[in-house]
Chain A
Amino acid sequence: MKRRAFLGSLVALLAAEASALVVGRERLKSLYLSSAWIQRTRTRLNSVDQRTGAGSLSPDLETRLWAVALVLLPSQVDPRGKSAVLEHFRWRAAESPGYRQAFIDAVELTDQETRRQFPTSTAFGGLPRGQANEVLRSLLDGIPPKPRLRHVPIDVVRFWLSPTYRERVGLRHHFVNEVLSAYYHSGAGWALVGYDTYPGVCGGLNSYSRPPLGASRPTASAVEASST
């Protein structure tokens, strides 16, 4: 498959270079990026399938999702981060059409790759951390963390040549990124760098106020009295 993908990329690259010489690089790039075919391919590649709808997560599915998420998080998981991730799973699945199915697809893809690499194991969630990391690496190798315009030609070629490319992009964008975003946006992410107050969470008056030089910090009752 790797050889086939390489040859496909090479042919596409040579064709693009030859056309660039004739039509002009910028004009060709603009035509290429705005073409309906590319737009459709990009949409299919980077979007969840909204037709699958939204819905709640069963306890079993939630357990399976958390088992995959654990490998993405630090080995010492902050409880605030765990709550944030689980809450995010529930909210996304219920409110954003397509995400519930994207989560299911992500778990099934990791399970499928687990069985391929470790035939005695049945589920990704049952693997030791080291082996789970190997499975994830093999699935996410070469997948950019976020969709990038300059990656479009490579994406399009891989989309048409690799049978699992779309699923692996989905795993990265609609599962891995969702888990990391929920965890590191929460207090757990900020605690990692020593912050207990951060944008959006000021922590109350005492956390960020400083009395004028030579003055003592006002008491809570004095602050309350001055604001009424």
Chain B
Amino acid sequence: MNSKRQKDPNPPQFPERIIGSLAWDEDRYSILEDLREEYGYIHKTRGARRADLWYWGHMIRSFFPLLKFALYWRFVMLGNYLKVAFRNFRKHKSYSFINISGLAIGMACCMLIMLWVQDELNYERFNEHIDDMFCVVEYPPENPKSCSASIPAPVIPHLVDKYADVKHASRFMASYRRLFSYEGNNLFEDNGGFADPELFDVFSFKAVLSDPKAALTDPNTIVLTKSMAAKYFGPENPLGKTIKLENRYVFSVGAVIEDIPHNSSIRFDYLIPFENFGRFDDVGLDNWGSRWGYMGFVILQANVDPDVFSAKIAEEVIDNNPGSTHKLKLYPYKDLRLIGLNNNGTFKFILIFSAIAILILLIACINFVNLTTSQSGKRAKEIGLRKVIGASKSSIKRQVYSELVAMVAISFGLAVVLVYFFLPKLNALSGKTLTLSITEDSGLLLGMLAIALITLIVSGAYPAFYLSSFSPLKIMKSDASIRSGHSSLRKMLVIGQFAISIILIVSTIVITRQMTYIKNKELGFDKDHLIYIDLLGDLKTKYDTVKNELLRNPGINAVTVAVSLPNNAHNNAGGLDWEGRPADVQGSLNFISVDKDYFETVGAEFLEGETFQSVPSNSVLSEFVINEKAVEAMKIENPVGKTFKMWDRNPGRIIGIVKNVHNTPLHHEIEPVFYVQFPYFYNYLIINIKNENVPHTIGFIQDVTRTINPHYPFEFHFLNEDIDRFYQTERQVSRLITYFTALAIFVSCLGLFGLSLFTAEQRTKEIGIRKTLGATVSGIVGLMSKDFLVLVGVANFIAWPVSYLIMNRWLQNFAYRVDIGLWIFALAAALALVIALLTISFQTIKAATANPVDSLRYE
């Protein structure tokens, strides 16, 4: 019979494998053998086909009985595993504490970042047509990556008229601060916009009262958000009520919409029909050459390929404005925030933070692996005994996993508590309003559980494999190699942990230095003494009176008016010409219209020439001042005295050159600009004040402006606060990274602490003997620290090049940046070593000072 068995046909593989994987260890072999025998019998008597069929049928019918029993017995064993697990937790309190707190911190970081990422990814998603929404953007042909969403105002109506491909299109222009009055209440409103009716076809803003799209077709109508309507009209029905803007223009409320969702980039509290924009600022509604921040959004017809359409419209601005070189294209709206027009989107922050959170969790998992394998000597006997009485590899794995499940479950609970407490802090840092609403958002719960599951798999796989592979024979003989565990792997993991920490330390130092640099950088103007006021109402018409009044106060150094603030040069003027302009240089520069006191007030120094002498006029532009960058950009020698022509006005002369001031954020090179007296464009009253008695000075300014402008509330701004606010994102990022770095180091140290605890225990006898033979305390501390410090040292060598590459890349975002000095690496290395040394010193000193009599009696 046995010789016949050899020739037995093999059953079909797939069902055999299914049954094999379902069956419990103890009887798996018997079941498969029995099936094989039966199969062979049927094969012999009734043929291969019938036998195969029978086997398949048997598998299907056995599926549930097998599954039921398998689960049942696993569940019974689980009770035992958990009992042993909790005994172990209690027995090794410090190890359990290290593991649980590390995992909890790691998971909490991941959860917090997940909430943040989820919020970022949800941006704009409330729009039903998000995948079909495009932004019309302009780009210089020589640099297609440098796009601008600010396009000439006629572009959108022109595209709608000319191309049937456009289904919906709307312009949008964010309005700056406007004065609103209703029944004697005067309030400034910062967030508003001008838009075409089809804005409501493109975006999915929800109507509350009436039809906002229809409302925008009437030029004298305004659309309010719910909270804005409530602010002015309280519980009354706002429809048809009239509201006055800038004390001049009367609008009636035509519709009310829900407040703009928090995850929309386009934000406003009120909307005014775009065609009305000209009543507020008569600037270039029909002008193909000026860009004042008009944005254009389109949705194409269903069958139109956006790339093809982009190619069609590319030349539109050039065709309609011969001086221009900028091309048009479509940009997917959904990428606007995430990727950003010039790669300045939030996506890179998502990547950075996700990476950091995952690294922290990884460090915690490494702790678990290290401590579990190093503890394996203690567990070896238990596992050996389990194996002797019949436990298989897979059941040992299950035991290790169920212990880990218990540990991860405790950590998970702790992590949720941590998230709950630190979410407000994260919100404060990031300016978001994230909430932990598991009940409302089932995806969130799933995500959190996924984090726990990944933790489980990552940290459990190796220990489970390692512990289950013990040979009971060796364990029972108490083989020394098992007691020490896999020390080479452990060393590598410690190196990995510290490399991550050191990379984060270097990053933190570099980022902090860059942020300090930005804060303290001399911008070329007197940013700390400047305050500004919007030039509204009669302040503009009675400017001379205002100026004379203000200068009477000894706290005020100088007063000026300008189109934009010194930190901002965004008004581009095309159609320029100057004496000696090479043919290949575009007649296009940024311009800043200012009055003659501007340079003195903001503190810009002249290199050559001096400020304007002539009387300001809108029609005659006779004097121009340029900055150093402009001299380079214009490619002329000795510019002072040369003629300069703006648009179709009479030519004037260049009368001076000022030193460069940082008129753009430090991410970018200083822009070439020219200054001209063009009163039409004045927007701001800029005042240079003395540092003493500031509240008094501001009170004085308020009195002066109130007398001139009784209907306007008084609002002023410190320029340096504005500039600081601009770097808010970077500052938030740098702060978050600092916190995360601290956490990463803390978790790494937890692990190191655990390992040093283990080493100290393991070497108790050795230390006792050394001491009886005359070793000193410091000698022993040194001996024990040496091993760890070597690891941290090696970690440094891995971390330095990596962190250099990462930080060098980050710094490329800034045109003006600090360099990465060698000392930073030295500092990071020193920090890591000191921290590591301190961490292990708890154990080493304790072990070294212990009485050798006790240590020799140990065990």
**B and A form one assembly:** no
A→B interface (CB under 8 Å): none
B→A interface (CB under 8 Å): none
